[in-house]
Amino acid sequence: MTAATDFTLVCHLDDIPMRGARRIYTSAYEVAIFRTSDNKVFALKDECPHKKAALSGGIVHGHSVACPLHNWVIDLASGQAQGMNKGCTPALATRMDETGNIYLAIPTAEGAAA
């Protein structure tokens, strides 16, 4: 079985604070949509791989977020913990159109209802 990916409109760039995050809910899990100081947008499962804290409450610096619980640094593009920390949280693809609308990739199994 192959997987198809649908992009769904989830918010606008202005809905996300600069160097902050907005939490959204999907049928699979909560997702944090992050905005960096250079207006790049990333999406991760809103869960630190260490103690399951909500990454949406963390501090965004560069293209990373520091977990609010124990300061683990998570790469926004890959979801991978940085430095000596080990672990990964799922990263989801995003797209932004010319008006600032942000779309999130929500994978579905081929033939399944979206």
**Dist. CA 106–CA 5, nearest whole Å:** 6
pLDDT (0 to 100) of residue 3: 52
User: Whose structure tokens read 């033939």?
Assistant: 111
**Dist. CA 10–CA 80, nearest whole Å:** 24
pTM metric for this prediction: 0.87
Domains detected in the chain: 19-94 (2.102.10.10)
pLDDT (0 to 100) of residue 4: 52
Q: Mean pLDDT of residues grouped by 10 in the chain (114 residues)?
A: 71 98 92 97 96 96 96 97 93 97 76 42
